[in-house]
Structure 1
Amino acid sequence: MKFVTKAALAVAVAPLTLGVANAFAQDWQPDRPINVVVPWGAGGSTDQVIRVLTPIIGEALGQSVVVVNQPGASGATGTAEVLAAPRDGYTWTGNAIANNATYQISGLLPDTNIDDWHLYIAVAHVPVVGVPADSEFNDFGELLDAFRERGEGITVGTAGVTSSGGTAIASISQAGEFEYRMVAYDGGGPAATATAAGEVMVTTQLAAEQAELIRGGRIKGLAVLSDQPLEIAGVDPIPPITDWLPDMPLAPDYFGILVPTGVPDEVISALDAIWESDIANSETLLNYTLTNGAVLTPASGEAARAMAMPVVIEKACAALARGEAENDPSTIGIDCDTHSEIGG
């Protein structure tokens, strides 16, 4: 299934009117600021998306929604803080949904999975293989040949093993049959900046984290992890990686807000209504996606879970295949023999 097609499926939900959304939101009247913990450094794809979302949510609720960056352990440090916080509705997290769903597999957070969260997806992101502007590599084919010849002599900047960039290069290396050397940073933004500066030779972080650097001529986008070219405003389309690795498995990464289960029902009712109206109809969020090579995919509840599970399953089973899984995916209900949910 094509990336654009999968993403477009998410908008096939009829939005409520703005008035109805605000009426539901008023049922919960937060009396103090809400904290949204971003478990990555500032400037990365998660941070970008959450900083677009929080003012929209804050306006609907009539209360400040504050972004708190708390990087560490590939996002597990900040996520653990959210899980340990009181379940009063005032502490959320922002992340790629697949990260929260697979921390148990990586062993970083052995007691959590996707069903510990209320899901609010906003956008879909896709990784891009980027190199510094003065790189010796001018297309992905040249880079692929170099990976196969030089292996760990090629450095790849990512936000860590379990980040979108980390899982992207792992998947590419498996499909392309090569080795590499990862250099981890505190977020996708820092990894992209380091690549532009020539600290590393390649990055596989998300398009949103590289878009401004590509537009500014500091990074060359060699391939997008999709079977369709990626359109980023102001630059030539980035070719799909399937031009070189036609059988590589692909799945977009979905980003948004996650609220721990156990919070008061009125918190969830308010967010559900806000998501179906204010978020789904946000011109600001739409402009962000058009500028940064992302796709608007608003969804919540069971619809969000159904959207996220394909990439969750792929990420969990790929970790198992690479020998990186501390816990078998069956512990979170995933059968890697069939690449499906157990009982799903």
Structure 2
Amino acid sequence: MKKTVVFLLLALMIFPLYAEGQKEASAYEWQPAKPVNLIVPWGAGGSTDRSARTTAAVVEAVLGQKIVVVNQPGASGSVGTQGVLDADKDGMKWVAGAVKDLGVYKVQGMIDTTLDDWNLYLNVAMPNVVAVSIDSPYNDFGDLLADMKANPGQVRVATAGVNSAGHTAIELIKKYTGVEYKHVTYDGGNPAVIATVGGEADVVPQLSVEEVDMLKAGKLKALCVMTDKGLVLDGMSEEIPPITNWIKDFKAAPTYFGIFIPKGVPSIVTDTMDKIWEDVVMESPELKDWAAKNAVVFDPCYGEEALEKSFPMVQISAWLKYDSGDAVIDPSTIGIPRP
């Protein structure tokens, strides 16, 4: 009899907690019955991987289901992205990345897709930082430019590959200055950074989030940030100078990252994701803290706002590739006007 009373008391104490958990889990209409796969089409440790994992943790906490992050690098992100595009449109497979990559695959003849094929859920915007190993003879961006002009095609530039943020960055520098360089490619931003630290390459122009750990550890030194304003990393007092100190008329746009879900999935999936972004991601203290520590801009959005904010860098990247001969079609024929 005493045991029965104890069990009843325990049940009365536990049930409200269980009910509250059920209420939270059912706050959103779509409740997937199995884990969702989030494909990161680049290597581990890079900008896409790190921002995707941080965001996935925020989303799965309210979705009530595990989001499994899977790295599938290859062909500048096109292999993993193509796999998600070709998968069943049941909402169970997403891909992460930079909108500018997604927007120029067709221009380069890599994937027959445009931004019209995707639902965009953005988390952060990231600047490029031009950095070298701590032992490099380059003390500022001017030193680097002088050497590249004096020795055309000899300076080794490490990036995450063709179509990566780093490749777009060095091509922008080439556009404004006319310098030539030796392109050394890797399967992600993190390997490109490590290669530069180790002396395999002379310079890396990848994103701040991929370089921040080595910069703080004193193994990389930043020559400039590719914006018109300086950048101060969390925990470091010295500002990284803007590239406009050397290239006065330099113009770029933010590189936005996020999670992309193919159109054609059930509307319950995107309706739920819209609400999660509005209610949770756009207010997430975890994501805000991660952004601050990694020198990126916390700016979550979705839908038309996401397209409007991210499209300028798509334009810059698409036309940069077209003008340099790296495109197979005219960007204007697929709705990307010249910026």
| Deviation string, structure 1 residues 248-271 (Cα, Å, up to 9, x no partner) | 221110000000000010110111
CA contact (8 A) 2:25 2:63 kept: no
Distance 1:71 1:311 in 2: 22
Which residue does the alignment assign to 2:256? Answer: 254
Which residue does the alignment assign to 2:122? Answer: 121
Distance 1:326 1:188 in 2: 25
Distance 2:299 2:195 in 1: 30
- What runs of 5+ residues in structure 2 fail to find an aligned partner? 1-22
Measured after TM superposition, the shift of residue 26 of structure 1 is 2.4
Mapping of 1:126-275 within 5 angstroms? 126-235=127-236, 236-275=238-277
Distance 2:277 2:158 in 1: 34
Which residue does the alignment assign to 1:289? Answer: 291
Measured after TM superposition, the shift of residue 304 of structure 1 is 0.4
Which residue does the alignment assign to 1:106? Answer: 108
| Deviation string, structure 1 residues 181-217 (Cα, Å, up to 9, x no partner) | 1100000011011111111000010000000100000
Measured after TM superposition, the shift of residue 24 of structure 1 is 7.9
TM-score (norm 2): 0.91
Measured after TM superposition, the shift of residue 177 of structure 1 is 1.1
| Deviation string, structure 1 residues 202-239 (Cα, Å, up to 9, x no partner) | 00100000001000000001000100001211222110
CA contact (8 A) 2:30 2:269 kept: yes
| Deviation string, structure 1 residues 35-90 (Cα, Å, up to 9, x no partner) | 00000000000000001011111111100001010000000000000011100000
Measured after TM superposition, the shift of residue 23 of structure 1 is 8.1
Q: Which region of structure 1 is more displaced relative to structure 2, 126-135 or 311-320?
A: 311-320
CA contact (8 A) 2:25 2:64 kept: no
Measured after TM superposition, the shift of residue 325 of structure 1 is 0.9
**AA paired with 1:208?**
V
Distance 2:183 2:169 in 1: 12
CA contact (8 A) 1:24 1:269 kept: no
Which residue does the alignment assign to 1:91? Answer: 93
Inter-CA distance 22–229: structure 2 relative to 1 (3 Å threshold): farther
Measured after TM superposition, the shift of residue 272 of structure 1 is 0.5
Q: Is the counterpart of residue 299 in structure 1 residue 301 in structure 2?
A: yes
CA contact (8 A) 2:25 2:62 kept: no
Higher relative contact order by CA 8 Å / sep ≥ 6: 1 or 2? 1
| Deviation string, structure 1 residues 268-324 (Cα, Å, up to 9, x no partner) | 011111111211111111111111110001100011011111111111111111111
Inter-CA distance 181–24: structure 2 relative to 1 (3 Å threshold): farther
2:61 to 54, 59, 62: 59
| Deviation string, structure 1 residues 119-150 (Cα, Å, up to 9, x no partner) | 00100001110000100101001011011111
Distance 2:110 2:212 in 1: 30
CA contact (8 A) 1:123 1:295 kept: yes
Measured after TM superposition, the shift of residue 22 of structure 1 is 6.1
Structure possessing the higher radius of gyration over alpha carbons: 2
Measured after TM superposition, the shift of residue 151 of structure 1 is 1.8
What secondary structure is seen at the aligned counterpart in 2 of 1:221?
strand
Distance 2:75 2:242 in 1: 31
Which residue does the alignment assign to 2:4? Answer: none
Q: Percent identity?
A: 44
CA contact (8 A) 2:227 2:251 kept: no
Q: Which region of structure 1 is more displaced relative to structure 2, 42-51 or 232-241?
A: 232-241
- CA RMSD in angstroms comes to 1.5
Distance 1:300 1:92 in 2: 15
Measured after TM superposition, the shift of residue 335 of structure 1 is 2.5
- What runs of 5+ residues in structure 1 fail to find an aligned partner? 1-20, 340-344
**AA paired with 1:226?**
T
**AA paired with 1:108?**
M
Distance 2:169 2:162 in 1: 9
Distance 2:178 2:191 in 1: 27
TM-score (norm 1): 0.90
What secondary structure is seen at the aligned counterpart in 2 of 1:273?
helix
CA contact (8 A) 2:38 2:67 kept: yes
